[in-house]
Amino acid sequence: MNNFVNNRLHRSRSDRYIAGVCGGIAETYNVDVTLVRILFALAGLTAGWGVILYLIMWFITPEA
Protein backbone atom coordinates (compact mmCIF):
# COMPACT_ATOMS: atom_id res chain seq x y z
CA MET A 1 0.00 0.00 0.00
CA ASN A 2 2.80 2.43 0.84
CA ASN A 3 4.38 1.86 -2.59
CA PHE A 4 1.12 2.87 -4.29
CA VAL A 5 0.94 6.12 -2.36
CA ASN A 6 4.51 7.13 -3.30
CA ASN A 7 4.01 6.28 -6.97
CA ARG A 8 2.72 9.52 -8.52
CA LEU A 9 1.41 9.90 -12.05
CA HIS A 10 4.10 11.17 -14.41
CA ARG A 11 5.09 11.22 -18.07
CA SER A 12 7.59 8.55 -19.02
CA ARG A 13 11.02 9.51 -20.33
CA SER A 14 11.87 6.09 -21.70
CA ASP A 15 8.56 4.68 -23.00
CA ARG A 16 7.18 7.39 -25.23
CA TYR A 17 6.01 7.99 -28.76
CA ILE A 18 4.69 11.53 -28.47
CA ALA A 19 4.82 12.89 -24.93
CA GLY A 20 5.08 9.84 -22.66
CA VAL A 21 1.58 10.11 -21.21
CA CYS A 22 0.59 6.49 -21.93
CA GLY A 23 4.00 5.23 -20.80
CA GLY A 24 3.68 7.15 -17.54
CA ILE A 25 0.21 5.78 -16.85
CA ALA A 26 1.47 2.25 -17.54
CA GLU A 27 4.48 2.71 -15.24
CA THR A 28 2.41 4.26 -12.45
CA TYR A 29 -0.32 1.62 -12.39
CA ASN A 30 1.87 -1.32 -13.47
CA VAL A 31 -0.10 -2.23 -16.61
CA ASP A 32 0.99 -2.96 -20.16
CA VAL A 33 1.66 0.23 -22.12
CA THR A 34 0.13 -1.30 -25.25
CA LEU A 35 -3.20 -1.67 -23.45
CA VAL A 36 -3.13 1.98 -22.37
CA ARG A 37 -2.31 3.11 -25.93
CA ILE A 38 -5.11 0.99 -27.38
CA LEU A 39 -7.60 2.47 -24.89
CA PHE A 40 -6.53 6.02 -25.77
CA ALA A 41 -6.76 5.23 -29.50
CA LEU A 42 -10.24 3.74 -29.13
CA ALA A 43 -11.37 6.71 -27.05
CA GLY A 44 -10.01 9.04 -29.70
CA LEU A 45 -11.72 7.22 -32.55
CA THR A 46 -15.10 6.73 -30.93
CA ALA A 47 -15.86 10.04 -29.28
CA GLY A 48 -12.78 12.20 -29.81
CA TRP A 49 -12.36 12.80 -26.09
CA GLY A 50 -9.27 10.57 -25.96
CA VAL A 51 -7.28 13.13 -27.95
CA ILE A 52 -8.48 15.97 -25.73
CA LEU A 53 -7.69 14.00 -22.57
CA TYR A 54 -4.21 13.14 -23.90
CA LEU A 55 -3.46 16.81 -24.64
CA ILE A 56 -4.67 17.91 -21.20
CA MET A 57 -2.57 15.24 -19.50
CA TRP A 58 0.44 16.22 -21.61
CA PHE A 59 0.36 19.73 -20.16
CA ILE A 60 -0.58 19.00 -16.54
CA THR A 61 1.38 15.79 -15.86
CA PRO A 62 5.01 16.34 -14.81
CA GLU A 63 7.82 14.47 -16.53
CA ALA A 64 9.53 11.71 -14.53
**Residues sharing a CB contact under 8 Å with residue 20, sequence separation 6 or more, in sequence order:** 11, 12, 13, 63, 64
pLDDT tens over the chain, length 64 residues: 445 545 788 888 888 888 888 899 998 899 999 999 998 888 888 877 888 888 888 899 888 7
- For 7, the domain range is 2-60
pTM for the predicted model, two decimal places: 0.77
C-alpha separations of 15 from 8, 37, 39, 49 in Å: 16, 11, 16, 23
Query: How many structural domains are present in the chain?
Result: 1
Per-residue pLDDT, 32: 93
